[in-house]
Structures are given as structure tokens and as C-alpha cells.
Amino acid sequence: MQFDKLIQHLKLDKQEFIFQFNSHPNYPSALAFSDTLNFMGVKNDAYELDKQYWDELPDEFIAIVDDSFSLVRKSGNQYTVYAEKVKTLNKAELHARSTDFILLFEKNEHPESKKVTSLKPLLYIASAIIVLYSAVSMAWYEVLFNLVSLAGVYISLEIFNQKFGSTSTVISSICGDTSASQTVNSCHKIINQDKTSILGLKFSDFSLIYFTGLLVMGIFLPATAVLIKGITLVSMIAVGYSVYIQAFVEKTYCRVCLIIISLLVAQLLLGFLFFGNTYVDYRMILLCLALWIAVFSLILYLNNTLSEKESLQKSNSKNLRFKRNYDLFKRELTDSEKVHFSDQDTFSLGKKDAKIRISIVSNPYCGFCKDAHTILEKLLEQYPDEISAQIRFNYSAEQKNDKFTGLISDFMSIYRQKPEAEFIKAMDLWFKTKDESKIRAFAGTDTHPEDLTSLIRMSAENREAGLNFTPIFLINGYQFPEKYDREDIHYFISELIEDEEL
């Protein structure tokens, strides 16, 4: 199932979205899709709505068009549909090709973005250096030869990345759209279903090795001219094999394959028309042999590493479907003894009468509590009207720790005198800096300390319930299961909110 344009429009991380979607227990259902959007910060509500009422929908909504989750954008009497491709339909066409399922969402204008390390900038810089060097020190036909090699490396790299789930706009534009009657287009059929396998490398992978090797050899022109002519001549065997597969085996032509063939033939012609017959030094032969071995080893390593990563990710997705099963989570959650607190007001946050109440037993000086508070803050930000929360500090007046007492008093002052958002901000500041003076300045408390009676009583309740270690999460009085990571609460929060039994 493809929805590249939808993910791009919502400004979501594609790999993260696909991983979370695939690992949902109800994959590939509409529920899984909706929950994944919620998890990624796009709040949404799903409905089954007769087509006669679709005119009342907002200008943007999500529907299942041609069996694919798609973003639908209304403009007058036309509808632009974003899925794997972008297409424009009129009302009758949209209704005919859609189910009654629609999903209304609130677009996140400030989505969280992950810093992704990409090698493309380095490749672009290296390519620019090679082009500049060639233009300054080589003849025009040698420069043209290196440009052809660069084009071959770029296209081959796009094909290589596409094997591991990356979407290439270049390959898509070359191969064209897949018609509704086809399951795969000719490029996909030739490239992705290639049965060739040498140490795990496909025929298309050797294209990347070939052009990369020739690109590096091209830097040493004209010393490598004779070797390049010989290699380009041998490459005609691959050209013949590719043409044979397309014409007689698959009986369909791959446009991107034909472009690669054109590049191979162009290099052959450049070599034999313009390259001279220079003397070949055996040291140059050894250097080129070492070069090809290095390039082959690098591509083989990358292929095996990415293949293993992809295999582990698929296996992890299947395992997570089991782990993220809500019924199993709820059984583990309610298996513990329920704790009843009399103090529900001290450091209480969110909607006070919400059905889901999350309590976190914490200590400001606890090193592990920072992440727990971050989880709670995100939940309150994402579900402000569905969640009530309480921070339950473990504190005792007998501790005789003036620094701790002063810090807790400052927190109490901020909570009582300032808006809830300011208190949350103060907590975030503390766990980032661990600087008591900054919290004192934030609170502005330079007079009498706050009355901590309610906090002491709350801490006593924690001790009586055996909640001595920190941090501890409780959901409606049930302690968060030890078999789950605290971060897993994000996967279950929607179902917890909807669970009337809990």
C-alpha cells in the first residue's frame, strides 16, 4: 500500500510512519492508519459517511480511493487526490472510486522532525569536485565521458535505494505511472523481479559498481584510456543480456534500463572514437584492479547491511503487532492491584474530570524522571481534553534537606500562582538545567516558603501504597506494566481514552 504524496503533504517522516503502520496489531486496517496518524501527532476522527453528505466535508480530508488511503483536496468541482501519485477527479469519479470511509484530521503545522543523516550532500560535493577537476585539466571528450559516468552513478544509485523502500521521483518520472489495470509497471517488473543474484547482488547493482568504477578511473585519464576502452567493450555483453531479457523473456521494455544501455553505448563510442592507445603500465592495472575490488566490496557491504536492516525491521514490525495488542496490554495493566489516592488535587494537570487519569510518582533529583516527565508533557499537549494528570513527588519533612525543600516550595508556588502551562514550563526547565536558582527566579519567591502539608500527605500515600521508587506511572490507579516501556503508552492512549470499562 502506497501513500507517498499523502505522507509528504502531512509533513511526516515516511520511514517512521510506515514502520509504525506496519507494526500496528490491526495492520493494514483503517484503524491502524488512524492510530498511526494520531501517534505521529496528526489528530483525526474516522467515519463511515454516505456520499450524499460529502459536500459538507472540509476542503481537505482522507478517504480510501482506488483501495489506497489518499488525501483528497477539494477545489470547486474538482478533487485532487494524493496517494502514491497525484490525480485530479471530478465528483462522480471520486464517488465511484471511493469507499464510504472518510477521516477528518487536524493538520500539524509544527511537526516534529527527525534529523536524518544523508550521504547525498557528500555525493553532490564529490561530483562537483570531479566535474570541476575534469573541466580544468581534461579534453572535452574526457569531460563528457565523466559526465556520462556521473549520470550512470546517479540513476544506478536511485535504483539501488529503491530496493530498500526509498521512493525515487527520478525513476518514477522516467518509468511513468502505473495504470489501474497493472499491478507493476515495466521498470518494476524488470528491476525488482530480477532473478540474478551474485553474492546477493542483482544485475542492477552491478550497474552502480560499473559506473562508480569508471567514474574513478576517468579521473586518471588519459593514463587509463586503454583500460577504459577494454572495459566498455566488455560491457556490451551486459547490454546484450539486458536487451535479451527485455525482448524475449519479460517481453516488455524498461525505460530506465534503456537509458542505462544508452549511457553504456555512449561511453563505448567516446572511448573508441577519441581515446588514444596509450601504453599501459602494469602498476596502473594493479591500481584499477584494487579500485574495482574496493568498489565491489563497498557496494556488497552496503547491500548486505541494508538487506539485514530491512529484514530486522520487518521482523520487528511483526513482533510489535503482538506487543501493541491493546487487549494484552490492558490485561497486564489491570492485573496489578489498584491504588486509591485521596489527594487528587496537588500538582494536578489537564482536564480535572477526564476519564483517564495518569499519575507519575517522581523525584526532582531522580535521573530517570526526566524522560517520564517528557512523556507526560507530550500526552497533555496532544490530548488536553481527554487526560487528567498528577505529579506525585516523594517528599518527607524529616529529610531535613533545605535544598530539596526550597525547590519543592518553589514548584508549589509556581503551581498555585501561575497558569498550568507555566508550571509545566518550570518542570521542563528544571530537568534540563537542574539549577535551583533558575527555578527560584522563575517562581519569584523571595519571601515565605509555601505550605507543603498537602505534599507531605501525598508522599505518605505513596509510601503506604509501596510506591517508593521513581519514576512510576499509574493509569487510573493501575501501575504501568513492567513488561512494557513507558514510551509504549503512546501506542495505547487512544484506546485507553475510549475504553469505558477502565
My answer on whether 171 and 296 are in the same domain is: yes
For the question of whether the overall pTM of this predicted structure is more than 0.85, the answer is no
My answer on whether 141 and 289 are in the same domain is: yes
My answer on whether 127 and 167 are in the same domain is: yes
Q: What count of residues does the chain have?
A: 502
My answer on whether 218 and 88 are in the same domain is: no
Place of cell 489516592: 341
Tell me how far CA of residue 478 lies from CA of 43, 340, 467, in angstroms: 26, 9, 12
Give residue-wise pLDDT tens across range 75-127: 878 888 887 777 888 888 888 888 888 888 876 544 444 444 455 677 788 88
- Residue 208 CA to residue 160 CA, distance in Å, equals 8
| Domain-embedded: residue 397 | yes
My answer on whether 151 and 87 are in the same domain is: no
My answer on whether 300 and 162 are in the same domain is: yes
My answer on whether 293 and 163 are in the same domain is: yes
The Cβ-side half-sphere exposure at 305, using a 13 Å CA radius, reads 7
pLDDT tens for the chain, 502 residues: list them. 566 677 777 777 777 787 778 777 777 777 788 888 877 778 777 888 888 888 888 888 888 888 888 888 888 788 888 877 778 888 888 888 888 888 888 765 444 444 444 556 777 888 889 889 888 888 999 999 999 999 998 888 888 877 776 666 677 667 764 433 333 455 666 666 566 677 778 777 888 889 988 988 888 888 888 888 888 999 898 888 888 877 887 777 778 888 888 999 999 999 889 887 767 777 888 888 898 899 889 888 888 888 887 777 777 766 677 777 888 888 888 888 888 888 888 889 988 888 899 999 988 888 788 888 999 999 988 888 889 999 998 877 665 567 888 888 889 889 988 899 999 999 999 988 888 888 888 888 665 667 888 888 888 888 888 888 888 899 999 999 888 888 888 888 888 888 888 7
Answer yes or no: are the C-beta atoms of 492 and 328 closer than 8 Å: no
Residue ending a domain, choose from 37, 70, 105: 105
Give residue-wise pLDDT tens across range 427-448: 999 988 888 888 888 888 665 6
My answer on whether 331 and 294 are in the same domain is: no
| Domain-embedded: residue 318 | no
| Domain-embedded: residue 110 | no
My answer on whether 282 and 232 are in the same domain is: yes
| Domain-embedded: residue 69 | yes
| Domain-embedded: residue 67 | yes
Answer yes or no: are the C-beta atoms of 480 and 489 closer than 8 Å: yes
| Domain-embedded: residue 76 | yes
CA nearest neighbour of 157 among 252, 277, 299? 299
> Could you tell me where the DSSP H helices lie in 324-433?
326-334, 369-382, 402-417, 420-433
CATH number of the domain bearing residue 228: 1.20.1440.130
Domain count, the chain: 3
My answer on whether 190 and 254 are in the same domain is: yes
My answer on whether 244 and 345 are in the same domain is: no
My answer on whether 408 and 299 are in the same domain is: no
Contacts of range 439-447, beta carbons closer than 8 Å, 24 or more positions apart: 439/407, 439/410, 439/411, 439/414, 440/406, 440/410, 442/410, 442/414, 443/410, 443/411, 443/413, 443/414, 444/413, 445/409, 445/410, 445/413
Residue ending a domain, choose from 105, 138, 164: 105
CATH number of the domain bearing residue 381: 3.40.30.10
The whole domain housing 248 covers: 120-313
Residue ending a domain, choose from 279, 313, 347: 313
